[in-house]
Amino acid sequence: MRTRELGRTGIEVSAYCLGTMMFGRVGNPDHDECIRMTHRALDAGVNFVDTADVYGYSETEEIVGKALKGRRDEVVLATKVNGRMGEGPNRHGSSRRWIIAEVEHSLRRLRTDYIDLYQLHHPDPRTDIEETLSALTDLVRSGKVRVVGSSNLPPSEIVEAQWVAERRALQRLRTEQPTYSILNRGIEREVLPLCRRYGLGVLTWGPLSSGLLTGRYRKGASPVENARMHWMPEHLTDERKLDAVEQLIVVAEEAGMSLAHLAMAFVAAHPDVSSAIIGPRTMEQLEDLLAGAGAVLGDGVLDRIDDIVPPGTDIGPLDVSYDPPAVIRPELRRRPADQRSAA
């Protein structure tokens, strides 16, 4: 397994990061198998593990904690905060109150006294970024967290966070975790160039486009009945994406590899990507992904991919992507009716 620098943190991470969202009730409820999968990934050279407090509503962090017993020091461990973890109004978000409380819960579940990378899972428009960075700075200074990062931040908020950190002498966000795949290349326009400018490490989620780039979902075929189809039906049945998949299958076959291996190799080929998150549910899926870890795409194959999905473009958003308030709240983009003048 190849290793790369995680931005300018000085930390070396494997080109594949073991994502654990499928560990637990949402994906694989067998804790013992999830632990065996983690050990298999570590034995194969993966030294980067990513989880989140909200995965399995804390169950996933508990599984990861058990899996890393006796092997914690060899792993770069990342988790996230922000998702709703209960019914109370303050049990989510990026406020100082919640971050300081929730990091203790994550440390206990993960059975560790420090977290290598603590990430803001989503933007929080309700909270001043200075408030958030101040809390994260205290966690770094206390030794409970080594490095802080973000996930799904729009370009403007990446810049704002860097500016505020510099002006207020606070810890900078050192990594970003965006979605990136052949079908969703929008981050190539601004996010990846910004990460390069500020020296941010990039670990990408969804390199298989939530299953579309495995070849299991085909144009004209009967829909696959599984949990993903309930989470993101529009994404998995989008005709434009399915058309692209059919073309990409041909490219993969002619390159002598599976579509999944092509998709992973594409993400790993970008010079600004530190690590691509794999999210296997079963040992079989993990073994297949590990088998393709050495795949390298030549310029000819990359050019053909560019022809199918042009650089910097998304073939439709993911159902689970972050949408800013200005997009989802009509009142932020429409004048009140009594203030609208006739055209």
Which tens digit of pLDDT belongs to each residue from 225-280? 666 655 667 777 888 999 999 999 999 999 999 999 999 999 999 999 999 999 99
3-state secondary structure of 113: coil
Q: Which domains does the chain have, with CATH numbers?
A: 3-334 (3.20.20.100)
**CA 22 to each of CA 2, 56, 148: distance values in angstroms, whole numbers, following the listed order:** 24, 8, 24
Catalytic residues: 55
- C-alpha span between 59 and 31 (Å, rounded): 10
Per residue in 194-229, pLDDT (tens digit) is 999 999 999 999 999 988 999 887 877 766 766 665
- What pLDDT score does 228 carry? 65
Alpha-carbon distance of 181 to 190, in angstroms, equals 15
